[in-house]
Chains A and B, each alone.
Chain A
Amino acid sequence: MSAESNFTRPARLAAIAPYVWMVLFFLVPFLFVLKISLSQTAIARPPYTPVLALHEGWGAIKTAFAALSLDNFRLLVSDDLYVLSYLRSLVVAAGSTTILLLIGYPIAYGMARLPQRWQGVAMMLVIIPFWTSFLIRIYAWINILQHDGLLNRVLLALHVVSTPVVWLSTDSAMYLGIVYSYLPFMILPLYATLSKMDQALLEAASDLGASPREAFWRVTLPLSLPGIGAGALLCFIPIVGEFVIPDLLAGSNALMIGQTLWLEFFNNKDWPAASAVAVVLLLLLLAPLLLYDRLQRRQLERT
C-alpha cells in the first residue's frame, strides 16, 4: 500500500538482528524437536540416540539419520494414554473457550458502552491481572477452594451445604482456574472490536426499525466476529497445551497433553516421547495457529 520511501530500506535492515534471533531460537529448535522425536530413548547424557555428532564427519551423520524411526509416533497412536490426553486437552480448551466467550462478551460489551473517560480506566483494570503472575493467581484460588478454604466456609455459614464440598482436584476447579486466568485475553480483543464499532451503525439499525435486541443480533454480533475469532484463538491455542492450571487444580486421573509431555520429560526422562508428543500437538494446533496469524497480521497492519 505504501510507496517506497527513503525510510523503507534502513527499516528493513532493522529486521536483521530479530530475524536471526527468531530463526536461531524459535525455528531451529523445532527441527531439534522433530529430530529427537524420531530418536530412541537411552540411559545416557543426553538421554537419546542417535546423537548428532557433527565433528565426526559425514559418515557419522549418515548413520545417525539411518537410525531415526517413527517408533515414538506409533507409540502415541497405540497407547490410550496419549490419545485420551489429546482428546481431553481439545475438549477442555473448547469448553473453557466457550465459557470465556459467554463471560467475556458481556464484560467487553459493557466496557465499550462506558463513557469515553471511563473506558481507559476499565481497560486498565482488566489488563492489570494479566500483568500479575499466572502462578500467583492460581495459587490464590487454591487458597479459596481448599477443604477448609473461604468458599466452603461461606457456603457452610450460609447453610447452602451441610458438609464441606471437595473443590480442589476437580474438573470444575480446573475450568474455574482456566477461565480466571484467560479472561483478560478474551476481553481485550472483544473490547477492541466493540469499541471501534461505529455507533452510527446501531443508530441506522434502530432507524430502520430494529429493536435494541435485533440491532444486537443483526449488527453488533456479526461485526464483532473478528474480535470473537481473535479472542477464541488467543485462549484456545495456549489452553490446549496448558500445564500449570490442570496440574495444580485438576485431579490426577485424567491428564491434559501438557501434563503428559511434562511427565514424559521430567519424570520418565523420555525425551524422544516428549518430543513426539510436542510434534503432534504442534500439528494439531497448526490450523488454528495459521488462522490466528492471519487475524493478527490483518489487525496490526490495517492501520
Chain B
Amino acid sequence: MSEDTRHPARTANSKAATRAAPGVPLLRIDAVVKTFGRFRAVDALSLDIAAGEFFALLGPSGCGKTTLLRMLAGFETPDEGRILLNGEDIAQIPPHRRPVNMMFQSYALFPHLSVSDNIAFGLKRAKLPASEIKARVKEMVALVKLEGLEKRRPDQLSGGQRQRVALARSLARRPQLLLLDEPLAALDKKLRESTQLELMELQRRLGLTFIIVTHDQQEAMTMAGRIGVMDAGRLEQVASPRELYEAPRSRWVAEFVGDINLIEGKFDSDTEPHPAMARRLAIATGQAGTIHVAEPRQPLAKADVCVAIRPEKIKLSRRAPAFDDMRTINRLEGVIADVGYLGGATSYRIRLDSGLVLRSSIANTARLDTDAYSPGQRVVAWFAPEDCVVLEQ
C-alpha cells in the first residue's frame, strides 16, 4: 500500500513518534459532537490527554463513553469538533490509517486464525518484513505470557487467555495510543483484579498511553491516573481518583462514585459562625439541624446546598463524645436500623430522630466484635467539618 509511506505515523515501528512534541498534548479532543438522529451521544466534549497517561472514561451505560472511544479509533466520525493526535487532526482519517489501536470488549479475535496469526495480523498489514513480524510476535507472546499457545485457535483458549491475545494483538503495532473498551468486563472477579495490576505494570513498563472505557468505578480507581466521569455526553469531572472521591464537583458525581450521605440544606451567609469555628460555615438543614462544614475553596454562589459525607467518615459511639473536640462538632442522635456485615467493614444504617437515614461504614480492625452495634441500639453519629463536602444544588 503506497499510502503507508505517506503516513509515517501509521508504520508499525513508530516508537519515536510516541514522544509528543513538548507543550502539545498527545491527544486533544476539541469540542467534539456526535449525534445519532436526535440523540446527542457526545455533546461538545473537550479533553486533553498527555503522553504516558493511564486515563479512564467512567460513566453509566449510554453516557457516550463508548461513542467517544469509537471516534478516537475512527469507527465513528464526529459531526463537529477536532481530534488532534500530536497536533494533527485525525477526525476524518479512516481507522486503518490511524496510529491508534483498540482492544475490543468482545476481544474480536479472528476465529479462523491462530494466536500468533492474530497477533501478526496488524504487522502483516503494515508490510513489515517476515523476520521482523516473527520476532515481534514472539516478543508479544512473551509479554502477555502465552508461550506454548501460539498455534491454538481462539476457541481453544480460556477467557483470560483470550483477553491476553487481544491485548497482545492491539499492542503489536506499538500504537501511540491504546484504547481499551471494557477490557476486563468478561473476566471473573479474581482474574479481573490480577489483570488490572498486570495492565498497569505493562503500561508503565512500555511507557504507552492508555485510554480505558469502563462502567466499573473500582476498576477505574485502581488503574487510572486520571478519570473522566461522563454523563449524557458531557464530562462531569476530570480528576485523580482521590480527588474524584474526596472532592466531587457535583451532586451527580458524588452519588455516582462510591456511597455517600446527602443532606439538603441552606447556607445563610448572615449568620456569624461560632467564634471557635474560623474558616467554617454553618449549614442549616431541615432534618439534621445545623451542620458545620469546612469552607469550600470557591465561595458558594447559591443558598441551596447539599452536604455530602462518605459513610466511612461517619463515626458512631454509644455516648456523646466530649464537646471540646472540634472534630465532633457535628453530632446526630438516632437508632441503628440495620447492620450489614461485609467482612472488612460493617455497614450501619442509622435512623435519626428526625427520620433521616444515614449510612456509616466502620472498618473491622479487630477480630472480636466488642465495638459492634445491634439494631435498635441508640447511638450518636458524629463527623468532622473537614470530612464534609458542600455541593451546590
Contact = CB atoms under 8 A, between A and B. Distances in A.
Contacts of A223: 110-112
A258 B112 CA distance: 39
B106 A200 contact: yes
B110 A209 contact: no
A211 B96 contact: yes
A218 B95 contact: no
B104 A208 contact: no
Interface string A201-216: 1011111111100110
A207 B95 contact: yes
Given A208-B122, A209-B173, A211-B1, A201 B96 contact: no
A203 to B, nearest CB: 6
A115 interface: no
B286 interface: no
Given A203-B75, A203-B95, A210 B108 contact: no
B104 A209 contact: no
A281 interface: no
B173 A198 contact: no
Contacts of A209: 10, 12, 96-97, 122, 125-126, 173
B94 interface: yes
Nearest to B166: A204
Contacts of A207: 73-75, 95-96, 100-102, 170
A60 interface: no
Nearest to A215: B96
A219 interface: yes
A76 to B, nearest CB: 42
Interface string B101-134: 1101010111110000000011001100000000
Nearest to B172: A208
B96 A204 contact: no
B108 A201 contact: yes
A214 B104 CA distance: 20
Contacts of B170: 207-208
A204 B121 CA distance: 10
B121 A205 contact: yes
A14 B109 CA distance: 41
A210 B96 contact: yes
A13 B107 CA distance: 43
B96 A206 contact: yes
A158 to B, nearest CB: 42
Interface string B71-96: 00111000000000000000000111
Given A209-B125, A209-B173, A219-B110, A203 B96 contact: no
B14 to A, nearest CB: 12
Contact of B125 (A198, A201, A210, A225): A210
B169 interface: yes
Contacts of A204: 102, 104, 108-110, 169
Contacts of B110: 201, 204-205, 219, 223
A208 B106 contact: no
A207 B181 CA distance: 13
Nearest to A201: B108
Nearest to A222: B112
A208 B111 contact: no
B132 to A, nearest CB: 15
A176 to B, nearest CB: 35
Contacts of A225: 112
A206 B121 contact: no
A208 B94 contact: no
Nearest to A209: B125
Nearest to B70: A203
Contacts of B73: 203, 207
A208 B173 contact: yes
A219 B100 CA distance: 20
Contacts of B101: 207-208
Contacts of A222: 112
A222 B1 CA distance: 22
A49 to B, nearest CB: 57
Contact of A206 (B94, B106, B109): B94
7 contacts: A201-B110, A206-B74, A206-B75, A208-B121, A209-B10, A210-B125, A218-B121
Name the 9 nearest CB pairs between A and B, nearest first: A208-B122, A209-B125, A204-B108, A200-B108, A206-B95, A206-B96, A222-B112, A207-B102, A210-B125
